């Protein structure tokens, strides 16, 4: 069935169960939701788009959106939700963002939650399959500036940033989901480029969304 919430439509049903998370982002991460949905600009890059919670919402505020999701099931749902909302300005890329172009193994937990799919974590009892990888620099080639990048890639954030060193020089802001142990390394990449840091929502297991803005 189709569920409409605050002017956005998502398919919910068999094969689209993760739509529930995308529907209620304003409740699960309210500070991040408020910050991101109040932005607008030319280009938004959604790394780890899942079924399109932020892609669908921000495509109405940005001229172009590059939406990246490596899990085939989630990517299929993402395309369905993009089509359902008639978003012609969204480019869906069914690949994993990494520090090189090639292939990697994507691990999916036994629960089959697409929000947990990872190329850095092996889930006991889960499934795995090969996916293509792409770099952030390749994704944004030809664009003069990037207004916003959302990074929610289940532990692959460092590799994603290492593959986007040229992109980051012309990026205004990033929202990055981070575990405490990975925070220092991410700041080590971004701080020398002139980014300043603050924090949005803290989620389970001390995972929190960090905001990096170009000074």
Who has greater pLDDT, 191 or 73? 191
With bands split at pLDDT 50, 70 and 90, how would you rate the model's confidence at 203? confident
Question: With 80 as the cut, is the pLDDT of residue 207 above it?
Answer: yes
Who has greater pLDDT, 182 or 32? 32
Q: What number of residues does the chain have?
A: 215
Give the lowest-confidence range in 3-12, 35-44, 147-156, 206-215: 3-12
Q: What whole-number distance in Å separates Cα of residue 152 and Cα of residue 206?
A: 15
Rama region for 194: left / alpha / beta (φ>0; ψ in -120 to 50; rest): left
Q: Which residues contact 213 (CB under 8 A, 6 or more apart)?
A: 172, 173, 195, 196, 198
Strand intervals (E) in 121-189: 127-134, 148-151, 173-178
Q: What whole-number distance in Å separates Cα of residue 80 and Cα of residue 53?
A: 12
Cβ–Cβ under 8 Å, residues 3 and 9: yes
With bands split at pLDDT 50, 70 and 90, how would you rate the model's confidence at 3? confident
For the stretch 17-25, contacts whose Cβ atoms lie closer than 8 Å and that sit 24 or more positions apart, written own/partner, are 18/50, 18/51, 18/74, 18/77, 18/113, 18/114, 18/115, 19/51, 19/77, 19/81, 21/50, 21/51, 21/53, 21/115, 22/50, 22/51, 22/52, 22/53, 22/56, 22/81, 23/53, 25/53, 25/54, 25/57
- Angle at 49 (CA atoms; ends 57, 197), nearest 5 degrees: 85
With bands split at pLDDT 50, 70 and 90, how would you rate the model's confidence at 110? low
Residue 60 is given by DSSP the state T
CATH superfamily, with its number, for domain 2-214? Vaccinia Virus protein VP39 (3.40.50.150)
Q: What is the torsional sign of CA 205, 22, 142, 42?
A: negative
Longest dimension (CA), the chain: 48
Who has greater pLDDT, 115 or 2? 2
Question: With 80 as the cut, is the pLDDT of residue 20 above it?
Answer: no
pTM: 0.93
């Amino acid at each position: 069935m189709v569920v409409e919430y605050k002017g956005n439509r998502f398919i919910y049903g068999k094969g689209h169960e993760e739509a529930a998370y995308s529907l209620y982002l304003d409740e699960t991460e309210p500070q991040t939701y408020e910050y991101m949905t109040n932005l607008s600009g030319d280009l938004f890059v959604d790394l780890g788009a899942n079924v399109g919670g932020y892609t669908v919402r921000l495509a109405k505020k940005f001229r172009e959106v590059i939406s990246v999701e490596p899990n085939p099931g989630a990517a299929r749902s993402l395309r369905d939700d993009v089509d359902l909302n008639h978003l012609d300005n969204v480019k869906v890329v069914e690949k994993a963002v990494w520090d090189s172009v090639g292939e990697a193994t994507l691990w999916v937990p036994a629960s089959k939650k697409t929000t947990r799919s990872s190329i850095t974590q092996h889930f006991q009892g889960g499934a795995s399959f090969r996916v293509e990888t792409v770099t952030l620099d390749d994704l944004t080639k030809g664009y003069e500036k990037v207004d916003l990048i959302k990074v929610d890639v289940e532990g692959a954030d460092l590799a994603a940033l290492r593959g986007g060193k040229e992109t980051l020089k012309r990026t205004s802001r990033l929202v990055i989901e981070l575990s405490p142990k990975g925070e220092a390394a991410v700041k080590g990449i971004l701080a020398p480029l002139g980014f300043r840091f603050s924090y949005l929502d803290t989620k389970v297991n001390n995972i929190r969304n960090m905001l990096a803005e170009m000074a």
